Amino acid sequence: MHWLRWFVLLLAVIEGGWLAFDGGRALVVGDYVTPSTGRFAGQLGPWSKIVSAIGIAPRSTLMKSIHFVLGATWLAVMVFFACRFQWAWWGMLGCAIAALWYLPFGTLLSMTQIILLLCPGAARQDGLSMARLPRPPTNASDLPPGQRRSGFWSMDSSFNRRGRHTRQWVGPARRNPKKRGALPLRLNKVNKSATAFPTGR
């Protein structure tokens, strides 16, 4: 997995986890986590002024539910994003945009995630959806001569040196221990769950 995706996941855990915790606690206990001493004791962050401006009471049940639902949804989408589901990129982007109101730190974290998600290393093409992949060969005559005895083709998903995601159908090399240099093809570590497809013989 590209390092940008790991960083996005880390930021999502921090922000989404805090929203879920703070909102869930507020629904159970009755109030958010606020400073107990000092100048800002008992006060909410600048986000409270934003939600008040649009007609939502910061300490209302509705706002507490928004905190909890947004945070829980973010954490759930994060799991699918880590598993490289293609639609999860849009979910992560949507959650980051939906949390821009959470001033000050939430806005900063959300903007950082949006920028990182738009980078090539974490782009939505990284998903392992096979819907847009070319169909693998189904006839043995379509296979290269060295692979006509292979019983399957599989999908190889990997990153090149520039951090761009590539996907292609590959077939294992012909196994012949007597032939020098004939070794089975090893898939990239990124593709931990290649799907096999039978071909005609």
pLDDT 10s digits, 85-113: 989 999 999 999 999 999 999 999 999 99
Are both 74 and 45 inside the same structural domain? yes
Tell whether 113 and 88 lie within a shared domain: yes
pTM tops 0.95, yes or no: no
C-beta of residue 139 within 8 angstroms of C-beta of residue 198: no
Residue 131 counted as domain residue? no
Domain identity same for 122 and 160: no
Instruction: Look at residue 134 and tell me if it is in a domain.
Output: no
Question: Sorting pLDDT into bands at 50, 70 and 90, what band is 158?
Answer: low
Per-residue pLDDT tens digits for 167-201: 555 555 444 444 444 444 444 444 444 444 444 44
Structural domain boundaries enclosing 189: 140-198
Whether residue 101 lies inside any domain: the answer is yes
Residues 122 and 144 in one domain: no
